[in-house]
Structure 1
Amino acid sequence: MYTTVTELADGRELIYYDAAPGRDRTAEDRRPLDRVESSPELRRDPATGDWVTIAAHRQTRTYHPPADACPLCPSRDGRQSEIPAADYEVAVFENRFPSLSGAAGRCEVVCFTPEHGAGFADLTPARARLVLDAWTDRTAALSARPGVAQVYCFENRGAEIGVTLPHPHGQIYAFTAPAPRTAKHLAAAAAHRAATGRNLFEDLLAEARAATERVVLAGEHWTAFVPYAARWPYEVHLYPHRRVPDLTRLDEAERAEFPGLYLELLRRFDGLFGLAEPTPYISAWHQAPLTGGEELALHLELFTVRRTADKLKYLAGTESGMDAFMNDVAPETAAARLREVP
């Protein structure tokens, strides 16, 4: 992997990731941009203890632009975008409309490919590996920033999820406190250790691998399975067999196997409902916080809001109002359906 670090016209950082050296990354951003003015505020909900980000400046962010005005495509034919180069492999830059910035954290955009109409599932294994390397590099860099407590890499895909830019991309958030879901993981892991003397996430993986009816894909170093108490109709967790806290601790064998297995998993999601359009999903890397996360395990959680070809799973009264999930599909049924997808 080869990196080129440069700046956009407003001073935001841009990093090109290339599989080989020699690519010309000298193109300048000549847009007349003002410096980004954002002042998100972190407020703690005294009733739950959760931190809520107030980011009112994001109301003016780019919203469903036409394809010929996509800000994530390369700059071509006199049209300037967020990527000054005429082509790229993987690019990462600071979000112009960040939910977190300054003392509140940092938000970055990860462009997986210059092809506007593609998706992650369309990548080659080599390009998917380059994305993995970019996630890893940014995890290391952001973890070294003062005040950062946890790094979160994720992809939102599909209008049903709320995506406003259809170009294939993901995001990376640097939180200044562990996320609420991570706090639940920490509490559950501590209780499991106290009760059994074992690690919760190692036991979850071992249980899933033994209960093969919930396994979707398995390799030498990774297993993808539907969790026993899945919240979403089609939800898969992907674990490395060796417990590590974050992406930086994966070894070469684990990195080498990941792209092919993950791409197959995404393609099975796309084939679930027999539709022409791709399946909407959220793909989320859960990494341990920088301190106090010794019991946690790196894993990826992938799920879709679609429950049938013509029905979505809405987070309505029980889920949104009480954080009480109701799932319409049995986990064992979901796993069997995913195994059946060619």
Structure 2
Amino acid sequence: MAELRYNPLLRDWTMVASARQKRPNMPTSHCPFCPGSGKVPEHYDVHVYHNDFPVLSENPPEPDAVGGALYKTRPAKGKCEVILYSPDHYATIPDLSRAHMQKLVELWSHTFAQLERDPDHKYVMIFENRGEEVGVTMPHPHGQIYAYPFIPLKVKTELVSCQEYFQEHGRNMFADMIAEEQRFAQRIVLENDSFIAFIPFFTDYPYGTFVVSKANKTAITEFTEQEKRDLGEMLQQVVGGMDRIYDRLFPYMMVMHQRPSDGKHYEDFYRFHIEFYPPLRGKDRIKYNASSETGGWAAANPMKVEETAQVLRVKINEWRKER
């Protein structure tokens, strides 16, 4: 069964895909994402792999007849792609060469452009889950791209907030956010000509870094070649710094927040940015979302942002010098 179920309390959709329970853990004898498996090309640098257990699909089945009245259902139409970063089973983002990282950014951009051409795709999200702590079952470095038939609630909330801010102040909220972080300076962890990385004043994760475009651009497809190089280099440095914090592979969820795929213009009030949600609050200590965070969306950060930003800034500089 795969379908969408409407939540009238939040005015949002829940994706139901019972087949995903059959997803395997990484086999001990082989990796399906490594050359020689028969599942991927024998030679590749980066590669799009069609998800074997998608929550959204191009030809979804009709929903089960279990709805009615305010309980709406609709087909789970969309697309779920896996983006393989490298044929190297152990090469994560910081391990890639700059030229290889550029190929990955280009593949993200190309796949985004392809998916948003479908009028049924209302929002295309590029993301990565890294580490067992966030539920990764296939450790070969990879990310994913989902094309949703709706705009996810968190993104929709951001868009409404940014539009209302623009209507009230006549300015882009992200431009003001960047200005405030540059004025205060202590939360900035890295900056280049095209992007700025900082741990926001309001983040609910100890190392919940944002990477924000300095230009009024709302999608990865709008970046110049130089901006794409700057983005790839910054991601390598940020993640490389994270790995040095506890001298271990740093788990995280990384999500690119971009404009919806509806042909409308969002550049006046919105901005391309990446949000990291890293769950560690110690080398082997997890920041769990318990009752307050999950039931009330009442975010709680167990560490002071100005202190964690200083730690990450130092570790990024260490990684850059070593690299």
Question: Is TM > 0.5 for Structure 1 vs Structure 2?
Answer: yes
User: How many pairs does the alignment contain?
Assistant: 296
TM-score by length of 1: 0.84
Give the corresponding residue for 1:318.
292
* 1:272 corresponds to: 245
TM-score, normalised to structure 2, is 0.88
Distance of 1:106 and 1:178 partners within structure 2 = 14
How much does 1:301 deviate? 1.1
**Cα displacement (A) at 1:293:** 5.9
Displacement of 1:197 in angstroms is: 1.5
Structure 1 residues 213-228: aligned runs within 5 Å = 213-228=186-201
Name which of 148, 166, 176 aligns with 1:193: 166
Q: Is the 8 A contact 2:129 2:254 kept in 1?
A: yes
Q: 2:225 aligns with which of 224, 240, 252?
A: 252
Deviation at 1:51, TM superposition (A): 0.8
Q: Which residue in the other structure is 1:90 paired with?
A: 46
Q: Give the SS at the match of 1:42.
A: strand
Per-residue CA distance 1:113-163 (angstroms, 9 max, x = gap): 011122121111111110000000001000001211111111100000100
Match of 2:280 among 302, 306, 317: 306
**Structure with the larger RCO, 1 or 2 (CA within 8 Å, 6+ apart):** 2
Aligned-pair CA distance for 1:318? 0.9
Q: Indicate the residue corresponding to 2:175 in structure 1.
A: 202
C-alpha distance in 1 between matches for 2:241 and 2:117: 36
For the 8 Å contact 2:93–2:235, the answer to whether it is kept is no
Match of 2:216 in 1: 243
Which has the larger displacement, 289-298 or 192-201?
Answer: 289-298
Distance 2:265 2:281 in 1: 33
Q: Which residue of 1 aligns with 2:260?
A: 289
The aligned residue for residue 83 of structure 2 is 110
Tell me, yes or no, if the aligned pair for 1:209 and 1:223 is still in contact at 8 Å.
Answer: no
Kept after mapping to 2: 8 A contact 1:215/1:225: yes
In structure 2, what is the Cα distance between the partners aligned to 1:147 and 1:309? 43
SS in 1 for 2:157: helix
Check if 1:162 corresponds to 2:135: yes
> Is it true that 1:58 corresponds to 2:31 in the alignment?
no
Distance (Å, rounded) in 2 between the aligned partners of 1:159 and 1:313: 14
**1:246-298 alpha-carbon deviations (Å, 9 max, x no partner):** 01001122112222222111110001123xx3111111111110235613211
Cα distance change on mapping 1:186 and 1:293 into 2, 3 Å: farther
Could you list the runs of 5+ residues in structure 2 that have no partner in the other structure? 59-75, 319-323
The letter of the residue matching 1:72 is F
Is the CA contact (8 Å cut-off) linking 2:255 and 2:275 kept in structure 1? yes
> Matches of 1:223 and 1:104 in 2, distance apart?
35
Aligned to 2:208, the other structure's residue is in SS state strand
Residue 35 of structure 2 is aligned with which of 74, 79, 84? 74
SS in 2 for 1:104: coil
| Alignment of 1:127 onto 2:100 | yes
| Larger CA deviation: 251-260 vs 329-338 | 251-260
Unaligned runs of at least 5 residues, structure 1: 1-38
Task: Give RMSD over aligned pairs.
Answer: 1.4
**Does 2:299 correspond to 1:338?**
no
User: Using the alignment, how far apart are the partners of 2:54 and 2:208 within structure 1?
Assistant: 28
Letter in 2 for 1:100: L
Kindly indicate whether the alpha-carbon contact (under 8 Å) linking 1:186 and 1:293 is maintained by their aligned counterparts in 2. Answer: no
Q: Report the counterpart of residue 182 of structure 1 in structure 2.
A: 155
Q: Post-superposition, which runs of at least 4 consecutive aligned residues in structure 1 deviate over 3 A? A: none
